[in-house]
Amino acid sequence: MGRVTERRRVLRIRDGAVSTRPDTLVAEEPLEIRLNGKPLAITMRTPGDDFALAAGFLVSEGVLGSADELANIVYCAGATDEGINTYNVVDVRLAPGVAVPDIALERNVYTTSSCGLCGKASLDAVRTTARWSVEDPQDAPVRLEPEVLSAMPDRLREAQRVFDRTGGLHAAGLFTPEGELLDLREDVGRHNAVDKIVGRALQQGRLPLRECVLMVSGRASFELAQKAVMAGIPVLAAVSAPSSLAVDLAAESGLTLVGFLRGSSMNVYAGEHRLALRTTAGWA
């Protein structure tokens, strides 16, 4: 809603010289997600693509899997005592006939890595709620050249328009196996950026994303691996390290998980069968 960035006064010190100047900061505000009128979750996010964020979040929770299961998403008016809409509350309405799941307990299994549950419970939850397999269909196997993967971080960074102004945003990008950037979203939370990617795909009727690569800035947590699996994405690549539970989920689900993707170097933690590896030209 036009609040992606904000201006603040900053005291600047450079080589001992002190000055004041305005600085552009990325906006961060809470978003409450309601399901059929009932409060479900609150996330801190960068405003923008809020409907896609909510839809993508519900894909990762196993609530939504296709566009025809979604009736609509609306902002809730009168979110302040003054009756001014802050555009920080959205209500997701399921299509008639779509059952509203009891996710009060399910949410304890998902969300953040600090939920306190054991890894097995988290893996079991994804296994029982995932609608699609990320394994390659017989007629359209995903095959990746390492050189194509190596180019994705730079292409992701070049497309980050808000990061150029603020330096404070994560990004998620959806690529073809040939390296074409299909979509990019930015947010203060990398999980929100992924939800915005997945939510847009759901709204456009493109799930599952079986022939795509998800590239993220930062590390690859269990939560991001979960979101990839729930969207049917076969490859998750990150510029930093994965967590142990993310690797476990990738190995169990068939997800290709690549970390430390920097320049011509990368670590493949699971799903190496999708990479066209060679023993020459530095690849082994």
Catalytic machinery residues: 115
Annotate 185-234 with DSSP letters as a single string.
EEESSHHHHHHHHHHHHHHTT--S-TT-EEEESS-B-HHHHHHHHHTT--
d(CA 109, CA 115): 7
Strand partners, 214: 174, 236
User: Taking Cα atoms as reference points, which of 273, 180, 173 lies closest to residue 233?
Assistant: 173
d(CA 65, CA 58): 8
User: Taking Cα atoms as reference points, which of 282, 36, 275 lies closest to residue 149?
Assistant: 275
Amino acid, res. 116: G
